[in-house]
Amino acid sequence: MSEQGAALLEPSAAAAEPITAPAQPVFCLIVDDEKSLRHLLARTLRQRMVMTEECGDAAEALRAIRNRTPDLVFLDVSLERSDAIEVIRGLGEMKFSGQIQLMSGRDLTLLYDVKRVGERHALKMLPPLQKPFRFDVIADVLREAGLSRAAPNSGGKSLFEALCGGWLELCYQPTLELRTMQLVGAEGLARVNHPQHGVLMPGAFLPGAEEASLLALAEFAVLAALRDWHEFADAGAPLRLSVNIPLDALMRLPIATLVREHRPSSSSWPGLTLEVSEDQLLRDIKLVYEIATQLSIYNVYLAIDRFGYAHNVLTSLLELPHVELKLARGFVAGCTEDKVKRQLCESVVQLAHKYKHQVVAVGIDQRDDLQTLTRMGCDLGQGMLLGPPLPKDKIIKMIKIRGGQRPA
């Protein structure tokens, strides 16, 4: 397998054709026992604005497909500790509706035999590819599968393009404990580092984003926060990191599996916080309760973002297990001078503490508001006064300076 994989060629510049994004995000799963081949194929597909996931064996592939249905599966005949027939049987049982592109260095007779097995399982099998092949043929495969269609021009700033191009990154806004002013956490905020347009804020790439892209963004954020934690910990601050995700992502993504497989092994990892807005959580409190309970097994907790507007259902939200309350900016800003805001903030803090929840005040931009919130016992705070969103490297440098380390 390795010699055949090494012989696979990338497309020449002369053979390249204009690349257009599909009208809906296309997702391909690459199932092959050779990692270098998977990476080459994934890179070629991403250049054609196709999102990818890679697997090396049948069990891993079937788990991935249960979590997220691909439009097209690139399937090698021989896999790690398994083979294509095992994958085909599993896909048949799932009644998989996507298409399958077989590929192998074995003879074509075997490839067509495997194709016929897939067809007997009522699967949509494309004509097999025999290795080695030039990666130019991937354009033909996508056309054959009906997955190479044009999309409206987004000006190069779409979320889908950022996902495919690998331009997404997280900036982190510090979270401080108000009583001690110690850095205890950070909220990961998505940014696009575009090769032509520079750093883009969410307003430039989120409007009009498709549901699949928003789910992919949420998955990226969770995995990035789990990965980035190591760098903060190595700098001397094992921070509690948080990311924003929509309710649909909380319900549809295999977050427990993602955390189980990618969480830091260090005993100092304090867990991960997922921030979901108050209005979304109210759609299905019972299901959210179940999800929150399951996630707490893996040290993943919920924060109720923009808390405080749904006065008539506050008790239902407060009864959710293992949650943190993020007091909305609209109540925090100016709470010193505005008596109504101040009383509401104080009521939320007292009520939250009664239910043993912490409160994070969002939007602390004035020193007098900081002092007011500290006096009333608010636990944590975020805002421009305490620290703006910063690139990960700047947060790490700040941690090292505060800890007395020499910045790298």
CA–CA distance, 304 with 287 (Å, rounded to integer): 15
**pLDDT tens sequence across 388-406:** 999 999 999 988 887 744 4
Is the pLDDT reported for residue 11 higher than 50? no
* Nearest CA-CA partner of 330 in 313, 309, 315, 302: 309
Model confidence band, residue 34 (pLDDT cutoffs 50, 70, 90): confident
Mean pLDDT, residues 92-120:
93
Cα–Cα nearest to 273, from 241, 246, 310, 228: 241
The DSSP secondary structure of 207-249, one letter per residue, reads: TT--HHHHHHHHHHHHHHHHHHHHHHHHHT---EEEEE--HHH
Is the pLDDT confidence value at 22 over 60? Answer: no
Which range among 140-154, 208-222, 332-346 shows the weakest confidence by mean pLDDT? Answer: 140-154
pLDDT at 141 over 70: yes
Domains and CATH numbers, the chain: 2-144 (3.40.50.2300), 159-402 (3.20.20.450)
Residue 123 — very low, low, confident or very high, per pLDDT cuts 50/70/90?
Answer: very high
Mean pLDDT over residues 162-191, rounded? 91
164 vs 26: which has the higher pLDDT: 26
Q: Rounded to whole angstroms, how far apart are CA atoms 78 and 106?
A: 9
pLDDT at 17 over 70: no
Query: Residue 106: is its pLDDT beyond 60?
Result: yes
Q: Which of 7-11, 115-119, 313-317 has the highest mean pLDDT?
A: 115-119
pLDDT of residue 308: 58
With bands split at pLDDT 50, 70 and 90, how would you rate the model's confidence at 378?
A: very high
Using DSSP, state whether 408 is helix, strand or coil. Answer: coil
- pTM greater than 0.75: no
| DSSP code of residue 134 | B
- Give the model's confidence band at 361: pLDDT under 50 very low, under 70 low, under 90 confident, else very high: very high
The first and second tokens of residue 87, run together, are 């994958």
Most confident of 12-16, 48-52, 65-69, 234-238: 234-238
For residues 255 and 242, give the distance between their C-alpha atoms in angstroms, rounded to a whole number: 14
Q: Is 238 within 8 Å of 270 (Cβ atoms)? A: yes
Q: Which of 17-31, 217-231, 386-400 is predicted least confidently? A: 17-31
Give CA 375 to chain center in angstroms.
37
- Reply yes or no on whether the pLDDT at 273 is more than 70: yes
Q: What are phi and psi of 261, to 5 degrees?
A: -90, -20
Which runs of consecutive H residues, i.e. helices, occur in 95-246? 108-120, 137-144, 159-165, 202-205, 211-235
CB atoms within 10 A of CB 284: 13
Say whether pLDDT at 338 is over 70. yes
Q: Which tokens is 204 given? A: 């430039």
Of residues 278 and 345, more confidently modeled = 345
- Rounded to the nearest 10°, the torsion over CA 129, 213, 195, 223 is -90
Per-position DSSP letters for 279-304, written without gaps between them: HHHTT-HHHHHHHHHHHHTTTEEEEE
Res 101 pLDDT > 90: yes
Minimum mean pLDDT among 120-134, 191-205, 226-240, 301-315: which range?
301-315
Task: Tell me which of 86-95, 143-152, 341-350 is least confident.
Answer: 143-152
SS3 at position 263: coil
